[in-house]
Amino acid sequence: MRRLSARLVLLATLAAMPGLVQSAPAPVTAPKPTPPAPSAASARQAYFGEMHLHTTMSFDAWTGGTKTMPDTAYRFAKGEAVTINGVQARRAWPLDFMAVTDHSEFMGALSELDRTGSLFSQTVVGKQMLALGRRAFELSPNQKREMPELADAAAASRAWEVQVKAANDHYQPGRFTTFIAYEWTAGGKTPGAHLHRNVFFNGDHAPVPFTSADSNRPEDLWTYLENVRKQGIGVIAVSHNANLSNGQVFDWYMSDGKPMDRIYAQRRALNEPLFEIVQNKGSSDTRPELSPNDEFANFEIVERLYKDQTKAATHGSFVREAFGRGMVVESKVGANPFKFGLIGASDFHNGLSTSRENAFAGTGIDPDTMLPKGEAAKRTLGMGPKAPLRPTGQPEDDPVTHSSAGLTGVWAEANSRPSIFAALQRKETFATSGERIRVRMFGGWNFDPKLMASKDWVATAYATGVPMGSDLPAAAKAKAPRFAVWAMKDPDGANLDRIQIIKLSLEGDGYKERVFDVALSGNRKVNPKTGKTSAVGNTVDLKTGTYANSIGASQLATVWQDPEFNPAKPAVYYARVLEIPTPRWSTLLALRNNLPFRDSVPATIQERAWSSPIWFKPQG
C-alpha cells in the first residue's frame, strides 16, 4: 500500500506537467534571469563552491560505507568541525556555496537500513542489501526496478524532504548559499557510459526529481525542466564526465539516433548552460590525441569506462572538441547545442567536499586526522593486494588514477541564491582543478592595449565589451577582437605560470584549434617561429613534497588581439591558466608513508583554471 501511495504521489506530480514526454515542444524559450543593474556588474566578486557531492542518501555512496547525511555535508562545507566514523574533520577553508547532488534513483532507500526497526531492514531484500554491502553497487537498473521493496524504502526515507530541508536550513544569504539539487543518473548506449546530469533549482522548494527510471533520454529531462520553469521555479541541468561517456555526451546525434535538428540544439543549450570540466574522475578538457600541439593536454586523464576493460572512445568525449562540433552543427541547423560555460566539482561520495591535493586520498579527507597509513595507504595508492573482482568480473579501478576535486567559481553581485544562480545561467563562471585561482575574461573590439593598467579596467570592460559566457557581437569595421584576461593565484597556493587563450574556428565542415600563450610569468617570450615558450621551471623537492614560489607570478593580466582573425568565420575563445608545478596527491601520500611513487601517474602536476568561452559569429 505504501508503494502504491508513493507512486501515486509521483504520478500526480508529473501529470501536472503537460507534455512531459514530448521531445520537441515549440516554441523554445530561454529562461530569463533577472539582470542586475548595470552599475552592479563591475562590483561582482568571485565566489567558490561545490556543485557535485553525494551523501549516504545515494545508493552507491551507501554501498561504499558512507554514513554522512546532507546536514553534515553542509556543515563541513561551511568550515565547521564534524565527526565522521568517530574521527573529527574540518575543511581547510569554508566554501561560499554548495549543492548536495544525491542520485535520484532510489534516493535514501539503503539509508533505511541504518534506521533501527525500519520495515526495509526486516525484508528479504533489505537483508540481501546488508549482506551484499559494496557489491550491491553492481546491481543493474533493471535488477533494482525488479525489487519493489527498494521503492518502498526510498518512499519511507522521505529523502527528498531531507534534501530540501538540509539545503534550506543551511542557506545563509551573504555568508553561505545552498541549492536544492540532485543527480539524474542515465546510462548510455554502451554499458558503463556516463550520460549523467546534475539538476539545480533556484528556490526554497522543488518538485520531486525526474529520474532515469522515468526516462533515460535527455530530451525528456529537458521537458521536465521546462515544465518546472512554468511553475515559476528556476532550474538548470549540468552534464559531467564526458570523458567517460564513450563518445556519447558530445555525439552528433540525438538520443533516437537521428542527426541533431535546430530544436534539439536550442533546447540543449538552454537547459544545459554549463558543463563540469574537471572532477574526481578526471579532466574532460582535451587529450593529446585530440590536441597534438597542446603540450599541456595530458592532464588527469582517465582511460577507461567503469564496466569495461577497454579504453573509452575519444571523439565525442571532450569539451574542446565539443566547442568545435557545436559551431559545425550551428552552420548546418542554425543553433549550437554545445554552447556552455564551465564549472568544476568533486563528485565525492563520502559527503566531505575538499579540493586540495593534500586533502585527497581516494576521496575527500581532513589531512590532519584522516590520512591513510600503512596498508591503507598502500591500497589507496594501488600498491596493496589486488582488490577482489566485482560480481561483473571487472577489477576495481586503480585508485591512483583518480584526481583530487575541482571547484566552481562564479562572478556574482552577492553570495545569495538569486545572484549566484543568475551567474550560472549567464555562464559567467570558471572551473579550477581545486585551487582558488581567480580568472576573468572579456571580449571587445576597442579595448585599449593598456586597459589592464587602469584601476577601473573591469568597469570599462563591462561597459565596452562582454564577459566570458557571452556572444561577442559582430562589428562591421573592427580589425580583430581583443580579449582582456586576468588571473590571480590561490592566496594559499602556488604562483602562476601563464595564461593561454584557446581558439577554435570553423573551417569548412570541421574546425581548427590553436593555443596561444598570451601572458607569461618572468621574462619569457613566445618564439615567433614555433609559437611556444620555455617551461616555467620546477621547484618541487620530491624528497619532502614541498615547492617554492620563487618562480611564477601572483597575478597575470594582458589585452590580447587575435592575430589570425577571419571575420567570415565563427570562432570560440576560452582562457586556461596554469600554476607552476606542485606535488600530486599521490606523491604527497607516498612521501608521508615512505612508499615509492607510482610510475603510471606524474609526480608533479600543474593545477589550472578554465574560463567559460566567448563566442563570435559573423553578421548574417
518-551: per-residue pLDDT in tens? 999 999 999 988 889 999 999 999 999 999 999 9
What distance lies between CA 281 and its chain's CA centroid? 10
What distance lies between CA 436 and its chain's CA centroid? 15
484-510: per-residue pLDDT in tens? 999 999 999 999 999 999 999 999 999
Do the Cβ atoms of 200 and 235 come closer than 8 Å? Answer: yes
Q: Tell me the C-alpha to C-alpha distance, in Å, between residue 417 and each of 112, 200, 341.
A: 31, 11, 18
3-state secondary structure 519-569: EECCCCCCCCCCCCCCCCCCCCECCCCECCCCCCECEEEEEEECCCCCCCC
User: Is residue 576 over pLDDT 60?
Assistant: yes
**Could you give the CA distance from residue 251 to residue 257 in angstroms, rounded to a whole number?**
10
**Could you give the CA distance from residue 447 to residue 484 in angstroms, rounded to a whole number?**
8
Which residue do the cell numbers 581516494 mark?
A: 362
Please calculate the CA angle 141-146-151 and round it to the nearest 5 degrees. 85
C-alpha cell at 74: 553542509
Global model pTM greater than 0.85: yes
| Residue 477 banded pLDDT, cuts 50, 70, 90 | confident
- The secondary element (H helix, E strand) that includes residue 459 is helix 457-464
C-alpha cell at 124: 528479504
Structural domain spans, the chain: 52-105+155-401, 435-616
User: Is residue 182 over pLDDT 80?
Assistant: yes
148-163: per-residue pLDDT in tens? 999 999 999 999 999 9
**Partners of 199 in the β-ladder:** 182, 237
| Residue 3 banded pLDDT, cuts 50, 70, 90 | very low
282-311: per-residue pLDDT in tens? 999 999 999 999 999 999 998 765 555 567
What is the reported pLDDT for 388? 56
**Could you give the CA distance from residue 148 to residue 362 in angstroms, rounded to a whole number?**
33
User: Mean per-residue pLDDT for 261-275?
Assistant: 98
324-380: per-residue pLDDT in tens? 999 999 999 999 999 999 999 999 999 999 999 999 999 999 999 999 999 999 999
User: Mean per-residue pLDDT for 104-123?
Assistant: 95
C-alpha cell at 507: 573551417
**Could you give the CA distance from residue 601 to residue 139 in angstroms, rounded to a whole number?**
31
User: Mean per-residue pLDDT for 445-461?
Assistant: 96
